[in-house]
Amino acid sequence: MVQKAKILLVDDRPENLLALEAILSALDQTLVRASSGEEALKALLTDDFAVILLDVQMPGMDGFETAAHIKRRERTRDIPIIFLTAINHGPHHTFRGYAAGAVDYISKPFDPWVLRAKVSVFVELYMKNCQLREQAALLRLQLEGGDKAAAGEAKEPAGLLAELSARLAAVEEQAEALSKQLGDESTDAAAVATAAHLERKLTGLRRALDALEPGTSGGQPAVN
């Protein structure tokens, strides 16, 4: 069963959180509420999130300050943040949002379809990164000696390599399709850049895996 991605919704008004949940429920992911910046930072201490929807105007710690704290933490600095605001103070206000680390800045009332589409892109990128980490973990297992017990299956190294290659190929195909979709639809530059970064990671992992295959120039690496 594929694990669902978590989306953090941060707003001090319950009715706004309810509206966001109604819009994003169709994505069938896990929606986590936070009614303040402090509550959001607490949630980020224990859970991993695909994307954060952050209201700008909140009492106490506002959205800009909350984003600054998120970007200072190593664990959370790479989580995409979409700012939501009910007021438009012009270019300076928008620039402040991007300077705080936002990948997008949306004024209310926003188009539900547009918001859902933007969030879905970051959810998909997050899921691809999760798959990539899984492949990397299996590859490390092989490099460290092919511990069959840790792998949970009694497979010969050649069989494990074949499985790794097949699973990596599936992720590569999905990442390529996602990048093409983003390019065709001229999506946010941040999403396109994140997809390109993912493809570079996949290319590096493919090269490392190819070097392990018997008969390649790299050959089978020695195991200590």
Whether pTM > 0.75 for this model: the answer is no
Determine the average pLDDT of the residues in 197-209: 72
Higher-confidence position of 145 and 111: 111
CATH class of 6-110: alpha beta
- The torsion angle over the Cα atoms of residues 110, 114, 116 and 119, rounded to 10 degrees, is -100
The span from the CA of 67 to the CA of 21, in Å, is 21
Q: Count H helices, E strands: the chain?
A: 8, 5
Domain boundaries, given as residue ranges, for the chain = 6-110, 120-212
121-140 pLDDT, tens digit per residue, is 999 888 888 888 787 777 77
Fold classified for 120-212: Methane Monooxygenase Hydroxylase; Chain G, domain 1 (1.20.58)
Higher-confidence position of 219 and 10: 10
Task: List the end-to-end C-alpha distance of the chain, in Å, as a whole number.
Answer: 35
Element (H, E) at 10: strand 6-10
Query: What confidence tier does 108 reach under pLDDT thresholds 50, 70, 90?
Result: confident
Handedness of CA 68, 71, 75, 81 (dihedral sign): positive
Query: What confidence tier does 30 reach under pLDDT thresholds 50, 70, 90?
Result: very high
